Amino acid sequence: MMRTHRAGDLRPADVGGEVALCGWVAARRDHGGVVFLDLRDAAGIVQVVVDPSRPDLEVAHRVRDEYVLRIEGRVRRRPEGTVNPDLATGEVEVAVERLEVVAEAAPLPFPLDVADDVEEALRLRHRYLDLRRERLQRNLRLRATVNSAIRRAMEDQGFVEVETPMLIASTPEGARDFVVPSRLHPGRFYALPQSPQLFKQLLMVAGLDRYYQIARCLRDEDLRADRQFEFMQLDAEMSFAEPEDVMAAIDRVVIAAVEAVTGESPRPFGRITWHEAMERYGTDKPDVRFGMELVDLGEVFAHTGFRAFQAPAVKGIRCPGAGDASRSRLDQLTERAKELGAAGLVWMRVEDGGALASPVAKFLSEAEQLGVVDAMGARTGDLLLLVAGERAVANHVLGVLRLELGRPPVNEGGLHFLWVVDFPLFEGLGEDGRPVPAHHPFTMPHPDDLHRLDRHDGTGADLLEVRARAYDLVLNGWELGSGSVRIHEPEVQERVFSLLGISAEAARARFGFLLEAFRYGAPPHAGFAFGIDRLVALLAGEENIREVIAFPKTQSGVDPMTGAPGEVDPAALRELGVTVLSPPRP
């Protein structure tokens, strides 16, 4: 038998027992006479002691960090005063009777106990070492717990797991596709799925009724803390379902995942309309762990004589107790506001008795000053930041400043889930004047707004008012996922395609199979997908999803371990019908 116990599982109840353990040397203290080793395995760490009388002392002397050992010995209580309360095994140690080096380890490229400060590329180049660390071990295990809770919760609700293909035609989700050349069809390419969107809709036409998949999605976008090229989503679709049905089903899965990890239910999920989110938080993914909401000062300045405030919107945020910000800090904030698109930033310090100290105070009437203090609930010592201009700009600028000035660290403030509902169908107009879908082009417009699709004024501006039957789930300011009721009538789908500038021919060429399927009895359907990496990161208290992915890419999209992306043998390229235009950089 290789081992009788796992090192990290030993407890006082095991005292007196003979054990065999296998694991890595996490630390060693060689006192010449006696050698202490911290033996680490998947369960944790236990101290093993090679006493001077042991014949294996010589072997113990040549042991180095991260050697793999097998030991036999007897569990004993640690002597008085040497108990380690930080270690689950801290009351016991193992007196070694036999010690065997199973595998030696070369000196490590970085010490595991300081790896957090090590350059990322080096860590990722030796990810298998990085992953030996407790933090990442914990994250991967937490992730597995989440996945299995998700599966259970979906199956309990009658969802059927179906796998959809990876080599497909393009599914638009607003990102670039990763493409794969085809050897059998030189010059032609598969796309890797940005999501299983079209397949899950076809599964509804096929009568599956409730589908789910823990699906790998691939999007060629710039990487960020909450974004990798490939990521996992819980992807789901339901027939004969309203948004409420979908949200209820997703609530149950997310709650199950949280409970599996934390042992506690999250607080009830909030709900807010997209419009309200933009007005109160300046973003469609509000972090509601803290206040500092955007206050509309339109009424206060309705008749103002101050030119800069004669704008479509004047809004402000209150930074509690920040009135002592230095001049240079205020200049910095003003620069930042301009960078974000504001014409300027007005700051006001709230002084004793509610008087406002501000470069613009002299342009404001007493009533306006009182009005600001009142509307913003300002108190002595606060800093007020105001932006005037187009409503969308003021919201955006203050929304970003609110986060930059007030956002708590990722692992503070608990989990605040929030459904954002009634999204617009289009998020803006592209350079060609065409509307850009806020989600994907298969999202059902709000029935009351359907008529607007045809009767738009030509500038496209009124199209931006069209609401969608779409909803997002937000957690602590991260977009966890989104979903919608889908268009299941080919006519409506064709109208939306045409608004997006996808001609009838192009629509047929790209999505003809979907439009055709809809002609054979398509059930109304709706669905959702949420990012598992993001959920796991927030549950683990991590700022970056890389910390919860076993083998992630660097910020620049490279895997320093395998060397991907790499070059391809010219012969293979020829076979694929692919020519590389510019020579690869050295």
The whole-angstrom separation of Cα 510 and Cα 489 is: 17
- Could you tell me the smallest distance in angstroms from the CB atom of residue 524 to ligand ASP? 15
Amino acid at 138: R
User: For ligand ASP, how many residues bind (rule: CB under 6 A)?
Assistant: 10
Site of tokens 């010219």? 570
Of positions 527, 532, 546, 552, contacts ligand ASP by CB under 6 A: 527
Site of tokens 């006001």? 348
Under the binding rule (CB under 6 A), the answer on residue 269 touching ligand ASP is no
Residue 218 has φ and ψ, to the nearest 5°, of: -130, 125
Cβ nearer to ligand ASP, comparing 173 with 284: 173
Concatenated DSSP letters for 396-423?
A: HHHHHHHHHHHPPPTTSS---EEEEE--
Cβ nearer to ligand ASP, comparing 146 with 246: 246
Cβ nearer to ligand ASP, comparing 400 with 532: 532
- Could you tell me the smallest distance in angstroms from the CB atom of residue 439 to ligand ASP? 6
The whole-angstrom separation of Cα 405 and Cα 330 is: 12
383 sits in which H/E element: strand 383-389
- Could you tell me the smallest distance in angstroms from the CB atom of residue 528 to ligand ASP? 5
- Could you tell me the smallest distance in angstroms from the CB atom of residue 233 to ligand ASP? 6
Of positions 228, 239, 484, 544, contacts ligand ASP by CB under 6 A: 484
Alpha carbon dihedral 431, 435, 437, 442, in 10-degree steps, equals -130
Which among 54-62, 248-256, 476-484, 504-512 is the span making contact with ligand ASP, rule CB under 6 A? Answer: 476-484
Long-range contact pairs involving 321-325 (C-beta distance under 8 Å, separation at least 24): 321/381, 321/382, 322/382, 322/383, 322/405, 323/349, 323/350, 323/351, 323/380, 323/381, 323/382, 323/383, 324/381, 325/383
Q: How far is CA 254 from CA 248, 265, 535, in A?
A: 10, 10, 9
- Could you tell me the smallest distance in angstroms from the CB atom of residue 348 to ligand ASP? 41
Which among 132-140, 183-191, 250-258, 522-530 is the span making contact with ligand ASP, rule CB under 6 A? Answer: 522-530
Under the binding rule (CB under 6 A), the answer on residue 424 touching ligand ASP is no
Tokens of 261: 């990890």
Of positions 400, 528, 545, 553, contacts ligand ASP by CB under 6 A: 528
- Could you tell me the smallest distance in angstroms from the CB atom of residue 172 to ligand ASP? 10
Handedness of CA 491, 492, 495, 497 (dihedral sign): negative
Cβ nearer to ligand ASP, comparing 128 with 513: 513
- Could you tell me the smallest distance in angstroms from the CB atom of residue 331 to ligand ASP? 40
- Could you tell me the smallest distance in angstroms from the CB atom of residue 150 to ligand ASP? 15
Burial tier of 368 (Cβ tally within 10 Å: 0-12, 13-18, 19+): buried
Of positions 38, 130, 173, 368, contacts ligand ASP by CB under 6 A: 173
Of positions 228, 304, 476, 482, contacts ligand ASP by CB under 6 A: 482
Residue 436 has φ and ψ, to the nearest 5°, of: -105, 125
Cβ nearer to ligand ASP, comparing 215 with 300: 215
Cβ nearer to ligand ASP, comparing 371 with 437: 437
- Could you tell me the smallest distance in angstroms from the CB atom of residue 440 to ligand ASP? 6
Cβ nearer to ligand ASP, comparing 173 with 368: 173
**92-103/160-161 β-pairing:** unpaired
Cβ nearer to ligand ASP, comparing 24 with 478: 478
Which among 85-93, 287-295, 477-485, 549-557 is the span making contact with ligand ASP, rule CB under 6 A? Answer: 477-485
Which among 322-330, 382-390, 521-529, 577-585 is the span making contact with ligand ASP, rule CB under 6 A? Answer: 521-529
Cβ nearer to ligand ASP, comparing 146 with 215: 215
Q: What is the CA radius of gyration of the chain?
A: 30
| Cβ–Cβ under 8 Å, residues 90 and 83 | yes
Residues 6+ apart with CB under 8 A from 253: 149, 150, 153, 154, 157, 234
Give the footprint of ligand ASP on residues 186-245 (CB under 6 A).
195, 197, 233
Residues 6+ apart with CB under 8 A from 144: none
Amino acid at 380: T
Residue 567 has φ and ψ, to the nearest 5°, of: -85, 160
Give the footprint of ligand ASP on residues 529-558 (CB under 6 A).
529
- Could you tell me the smallest distance in angstroms from the CB atom of residue 577 to ligand ASP? 31
Rounded (to 5) percent helix, strand, coil in the chain: 35, 25, 40
Cβ nearer to ligand ASP, comparing 20 with 168: 168
The whole-angstrom separation of Cα 90 and Cα 83 is: 6
Residues 6+ apart with CB under 8 A from 6: 21, 41, 42, 43, 44
Cβ nearer to ligand ASP, comparing 315 with 534: 534
Amino acid at 72: E
Cβ nearer to ligand ASP, comparing 233 with 358: 233
Under the binding rule (CB under 6 A), the answer on residue 483 touching ligand ASP is yes
Pattern 123-162, ligand ASP, x by CB under 6 A? ----------------------------------------
- Could you tell me the smallest distance in angstroms from the CB atom of residue 483 to ligand ASP? 4
Which among 150-158, 301-309, 311-319, 525-533 is the span making contact with ligand ASP, rule CB under 6 A? Answer: 525-533
Which residues make up the interface to ligand ASP (CB under 6 A)? 173, 195, 197, 233, 482-484, 527-529
